Structure 1
């Protein structure tokens, strides 16, 4: 074992034990290689793992595309003219009513909750590849409903059905990336789904901006039709992708798992492939013992709440729920907020387009930050930064014209600028780290179940938050405008306090190290300081979770 004297933090290589309590040399050799590999070496040695992890995550682009699309269409003149309702004085405007805003905004979210619980069984039964292919095929048919919807009720039903498919896309890429990429690249590639999501949002914002002056039905039909363009390329990618070796081991297909390992790496010798396979088999067996699961039986959602997995499930669910609770519905897709704040639709969609671009750049910048700071510090600083920005947005609402109720033009633009700053902080500090954290803390045997539960938790809160936000912002409801920031500031402050005690550092830890740290009840905030020894023992000051 090697210790870093300068940092005071022990950086130890985990030595693995077989059933007879002897060190398994194949596992030891593969673990040492994995933990000492640099980012440059990992990219050079595993270029196909990087390629497949990225391309298989591109399915979430369509979820980001349609989520931003539907949120933006609520203030899109041609869409409102088709599906909206005229309100006489004092409003004197055609609007999508509050109940239908809730319906259109949350139908897909409700569908995603249903799809997510199905995802875990689908992914474990047929694998990530076939789950992706079948979901893409179903989606191709469902897009027709949105494209030809004659009224708002049919459109809402179409969004509900599409949401079931998006539930699969929202986690399948992260599951796959976490199981095919080398340790040193795990944080980058599991968080790439954030890049893919914001890329979809960016594309939809650009298309809407390009069609904003089109007054016909094609102004909103074309954005729906664009989703058909991606289906065949994505199906082709999934068809040729290798299955996850971790999934193949869980299925008992060791020979196929070894072949998959060879496909994911470059110039891997037969001996090195067997060493990597030994690590996967050993970790899988260790988790079976920890969960007291019967060998050969498929894991269930109940396993996520047994033993040490309960804490791991808590962390995954809370960090995913936090994506919504920090005010994503308020300023995460800010076009509607810009319009209601008083900015004209043309300027609002330009700002929305720029916001999507900032989100993409912020997520890419987070890869630089996580290299030097890890997961935990970025999440804590991110919560603090977002809380300050939300409070500032809310306080600016009180900068009114001549002491009246109308916010000044300067304050409105300042709020819009702070909304963009919030999006930058979210994407560069917190958003991408939440994806990596949820994938890393979950045990490999129940990763699909844990991530499905985490995403479902997010969707439930997104539905609740969407209803709250509509009530807060809609002119026919609360009409609070920027004052709604107080609500999301309070949630973000609570999450900041939670993160100080419940967020562990997972950077640089193998899946077996994490299994041991959780099983031994090492305090979550001490993970980065804790050494894991040859026999799986841990060295720290405390042994119980708070």
Structure 2
């Protein structure tokens, strides 16, 4: 653990128990300034030189900030210290398994013989029954429409009720809405396949609503409870949950391929979705609320308790961690008001430099760590504090938040349109390439299994190589793989090895996607927004993802299906995604910043300084928070007295 220990830097206490925010007064360190070309590793070795001013001026916050950024602490030590944060983050993330299961289940149903016999029609006399391409698109798009409707409302619900209550309400709705698709077979018996498909359409629309809530809550909660070193792992675990859901859906479809009863073969995979909401709801009920959310709502006493539940190490400076949250929240709020242009007065405390009122905790209690006499909901001014600290959707497009929102939107569009939708239709694509249906499901299982392994390997990659380099490399490989699949699509039927080559390239694409674009989207999206607008910015990004998905899922069945049911492109449809990947690669080169090892406070300062994307990784944030204090490669930073570490 790193701590500040000398007389000039150690955290001191007033008699009232609060941290002494008087800045250190010892002479500046004689350590020479960083040389030109400083890289991420060099920056990480000197975390005391890379602290925003508003945190450096509060000794209690400074100790907690340096402890969280301690470069000598191993991942295992951090996991042991924050083990409960890991547990609660995983519990929230597994809600995505249900979404991945449902969406992949419907995509695989279109290739299931029993489902086609039950809900399909004959495209021509004497031909096998199949699901019309229009219905395929409508069924997939209805779930996305439900998500778009719910995800907008979820942003408001999170601000008002918190993450826990919002997720609990969504889990309860899953139990009810599953009744609609389960009994859709009764509509087939009563009024034919169109009626059954209509019932499925309504069921997917309703189920899409809790899926949208999970997308809006899981990622920001995971990022807010995780320390800096575990944040990329715990946020990208969301993507692994998607793959788990897709893998389970494919396995469920594969398990019922031999059943003769069409209704049972359809209902068994659907009914499996009733097994997970209740146990997850119990765990979510027992989990703490996000400390960031509690701070934004002026509930610092409860935030302190939540921090102590997330990190039960008796030596952990929980009060200092709370100060970091309060100061960062106040800094962002001041900047959004237009009075928080970072650092006008050197070592002057942040609150004295701005015209904003004291932070939420200071309104409610005299010092951090002291029990407030005001109970939850008992302060009549609490609603005003909430209104001041929580912005609206329009705030995501103002000032520096505009750039943050642009990045979040483009990351989501890349994840949706890079060719990942072909994984939902992989069984269909393998069949169009000439592989037997049963073997197509087997290869889909292999594909998802390799995807899970790839996500696990992405965690050390992010630790050593950073986000930007992996993202650009992954997109470059995706262009090559999608181009290969599309070109081979012109030669299907001419050689027996072509279908196997297409399958191999698609499996390689799955590995590349889950090493780069897939998991990194969740890590980057959780880091780009300001903490005040995190939930709403993520909602905007996921809405763009879902809107692109409507376009994507409407066209993909048309491209894959044979004429006259579709356009007959088959594997050649991959060329469309290869072209889109080229566009996204060009954008990433100029606009995607590197956030490896950065705290939310550092990222906030870098955005306010309008740091170019390609200099995010090499720019140092000194103890001054104005543009003159962020030192890019080769310029001299403002120095603070050296801090000793134990």
When the two structures are superposed, what TM-score results if normalisation uses the length of structure 2? 0.80
Matching of residues 433-472 of structure 1 within 5 Å: 433-472=520-559
Equivalence for 2:58: 24
Displacement of 1:197 in angstroms is 1.0
Aligned equivalent of 1:255:
301
Residue 313 of structure 2: aligned partner: 267
Counterpart residue number, 2:372: none
**Is there any run of 5+ residues in structure 2 with no aligned partner, and where?**
1-28, 188-195, 339-383, 636-646
CA–CA distance in structure 2, aligned partners of residues 329 and 16 of structure 1 = 41
Alignment of 1:33-182 (within 5 A): 33-36=67-70, 37-88=73-124, 92-149=127-184, 150=187, 151-182=196-227
1:393 paired residue among 485, 488, 491: 485
Structure having the larger proportion of residues in helix: 1
Note closer, same or farther for the CA distance 1:41–1:333 as it changes in structure 2 (3 Å cut): farther
| Alignment-derived partner of residue 252 in structure 2 | 207
Q: What RMSD in Å do the two structures reach over aligned CA positions?
A: 2.0
Within a 5 Å distance, the mapping from 1:275-294 to structure 2 comes to 275-292=320-337
1:8 Cα offset (Å) = 2.8
Q: Which consecutive unaligned segments of at least 5 residues does structure 1 have?
A: 401-405
Query: What is the CA-CA distance between 1:93 and the residue it aligns to?
Result: 2.2
- CA distance in structure 2 between the partners assigned to 1:165 and 1:453 by the alignment: 17
Q: Please tell me whether residue 366 in structure 1 is matched to residue 458 in structure 2.
A: yes
Matched with 2:499 is: 412
- State the SS of the aligned residue for 1:15: coil
1:370-389 alignment to 2 at 5 Å? Answer: 370-389=462-481
Contact 1:85 1:95 in 2 (8 A): yes
SS at match of 2:38: coil
Q: Structure 1 pair 101/333, CA: closer, same or farther in 2 (3 Å)?
A: closer
Separation (CA, whole Å) in 2 of partners of 1:463 and 1:268: 50
Superposition TM-score, scaled by structure 1 size: 0.94
**CA, structure 1 residues 407+232, in 2 after alignment: closer, same or farther (shift >3 Å)?**
farther
Q: What does residue 521 of structure 1 align with?
A: 610
Q: Is the 8 A contact 1:15 1:23 kept in 2?
A: no
Shift of the alpha carbon at 1:541?
A: 7.0
Pairwise CA distance, 1:240: 0.3
Residues 16 and 27 of structure 1 are in contact (CA less than 8 Å); yes or no, is this contact kept in structure 2?
no
Taking a change above 3 Å as real, the CA distance of residues 4 and 399 of structure 1, as seen in their structure-2 partners, is farther
Q: Is contact 2:235–2:526 with CA below 8 Å preserved after alignment?
A: yes
Shift of residue 399 of structure 1? 2.5
Checking the alignment, whether the CA contact within 8 Å between 1:522 and 1:540 is kept in structure 2 is no
Match of 1:495 among 559, 584, 596: 584
Deviation at 1:352, TM superposition (A): 1.2
Secondary structure of 1:397 counterpart: helix
Q: CA 1:319 to 1:162, structure 2 compared with 1: closer, same or farther past 3 Å? A: same
Counterpart of 1:403 in structure 2 is none
Question: Per the alignment, do residues 53 and 518 of structure 1 end up closer, same or farther by CA in structure 2, a change over 3 Å counting?
Answer: same
Cα distance change, pair 157–332 in 1 and its aligned pair in 2 (3 A):
closer
Alpha-carbon deviations, 1:50-70, whole Å to 9, x = none?
111111111000001111101
Listed one character per residue, the Cα deviations across residues 101-147 of structure 1 (whole Å, up to 9, x for unaligned) are: 11111110111111111111111211111111110001100001011
Aligned equivalents of 1:541, 1:278: Cα separation in 2: 30
**Alpha carbons 1:77, 1:215 under 8 Å: kept:** no
In structure 1, C-alpha distance between the alignment counterparts of 2:454 and 2:52, rounded to whole Å: 38
